[in-house]
């Protein structure tokens, strides 16, 4: 390299470094109005984990201010559904999904199936009011005296009972496997292989998996490889994310979400990706971190 070329190289490197520093500084000062409107991935911010000091309806307004195209939340009970429906329509924010059936009583116990069916019926009515197409259902914690295989078979039977209701209402039930190492010790369903098997056994176009990448990382790793299996089996109904360890936004842990989100996109996933993560510092910083994870 000649001295002239060396000077030109060093000069361009310094300019690039300065630009990077300026971009990083801009994250602190730029208006947040479009930070949620990312180019490749459609993120749905979780209103149970973001802006938690505000009343629920104010959290929805904050999602709009940040430019997120969608939100998700946990149980619909106890929430002002009319206000949510009206405000989401006004702000043009989609309700990506909510929880129709939680940890207890367990779906993995047949005695709870009649109540589960009623919950799915009620949830479908709520989904129509909110113009929502996805509802999370949870398998349940370990049942005394039952093997894991028995509990999984019970989940299959419960989902078979509810599937016709979901199909009639064009609402997809998304079964969420958890992790038992960090967050949900004693839960009966974790990892992608048994979740795929359950969905295939149910055999409904409206029963799929809430594929939480945070839980999958802790349980099995190889996120891109397992994503491919989920897409190929047509069992992925929805994606969620959080980094690990910490369950915070991308960039705070070990998962290279730029690569994982690109893989999901390359495999053809075009649905929302739920931000079921706790902002480590504040929502502003977390939102910019999320936007950076969408840069490939």
Lowest mean pLDDT among 23-37, 55-69, 140-154: 23-37
| E-strand stretches of the chain | 42-46, 70-75, 94-101, 134-138, 172-176, 207-212, 236-241, 272-275
Q: What proportion of the chain, given as a percentage, has pLDDT over 90?
A: 89
Tell whether 26 and 39 lie within a shared domain.
no
Tell whether 24 and 77 lie within a shared domain.
no
Its domain, for residue 194, covers 32-293
Task: List phi, psi (to 5°) of 15.
Answer: -65, -45
With cut-offs at 50, 70 and 90, classify the pLDDT of residue 33: confident
Tell whether 170 and 89 lie within a shared domain.
yes
Tell whether 69 and 18 lie within a shared domain.
no
Tell whether 124 and 24 lie within a shared domain.
no
> What confidence tens digit (pLDDT) does each residue in 229-277 have?
999 999 999 999 999 999 999 999 999 999 999 999 999 999 999 999 9
Task: Report how many domains make up the chain.
Answer: 2
With cut-offs at 50, 70 and 90, classify the pLDDT of residue 19: very low
Tell whether 16 and 69 lie within a shared domain.
no
Tell whether 12 and 56 lie within a shared domain.
no
> What confidence tens digit (pLDDT) does each residue in 48-85 have?
999 999 999 999 999 999 999 999 999 999 999 999 99
Tell whether 39 and 25 lie within a shared domain.
no
Residue 296 neighbours by CB under 8 Å, 6+ apart: 40, 258, 261, 262
Tell whether 244 and 268 lie within a shared domain.
yes
With cut-offs at 50, 70 and 90, classify the pLDDT of residue 30: low
Instruction: Tell me what pLDDT residue 32 has.
Output: 82
Residue of 295, 281, 286 whose CA lies nearest to 46? 286
Tell whether 196 and 118 lie within a shared domain.
yes
pLDDT at residue 6 greater than cutoff 60:
no
pTM over 0.85: yes
pLDDT at residue 96 greater than cutoff 80:
yes
CATH of the domain at 40: 3.20.20.150
């Amino acid at each position: 390299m000649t001295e002239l070329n060396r000077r030109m190289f060093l000069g361009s490197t310094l300019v690039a470094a300065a630009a990077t520093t300026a971009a990083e500084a801009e994250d602190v000062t730029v208006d947040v109005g479009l930070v949620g409107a990312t180019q490749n991935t459609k993120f749905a911010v979780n209103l149970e984990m973001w802006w938690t000091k505000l009343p629920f309806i104010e959290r929805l307004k904050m999602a709009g201010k940040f430019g997120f195209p969608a939100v998700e939340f946990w149980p619909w009970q106890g929430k002002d559904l009319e206000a949510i429906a009206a405000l989401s329509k006004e702000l043009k924010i989609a309700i990506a999904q909510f929880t129709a059936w939680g940890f207890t009583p367990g779906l993995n116990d047949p005695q709870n199936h009649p109540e589960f069916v009623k919950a799915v019926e009620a949830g479908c009515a709520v989904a129509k009011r909110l113009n929502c197409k996805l509802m999370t259902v949870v398998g349940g914690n370990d049942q005394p005296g039952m093997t894991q295989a028995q509990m999984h078979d019970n989940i299959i039977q419960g989902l078979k009972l509810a599937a016709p209701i979901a199909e009639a209402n064009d609402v997809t039930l998304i079964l969420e496997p958890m992790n038992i190492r960090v967050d949900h010790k004693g839960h009966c369903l974790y990892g992608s292989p048994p979740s795929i098997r359950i969905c295939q056994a149910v055999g409904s176009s409206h029963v799929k998996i809430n594929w939480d990448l945070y839980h999958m990382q802790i349980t099995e790793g190889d996120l891109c490889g397992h994503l491919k299996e989920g897409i190929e089996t047509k069992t992925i109904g929805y994606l969620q994310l959080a980094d690990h360890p910490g369950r915070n936004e991308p960039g705070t842990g070990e998962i290279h979400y730029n690569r994982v989100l690109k893989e999901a996109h390359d495999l053809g996933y075009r649905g929302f990706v739920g931000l079921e993560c706790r902002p480590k510092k504040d929502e502003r910083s977390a939102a910019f971190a999320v936007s950076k994870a969408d840069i490939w």
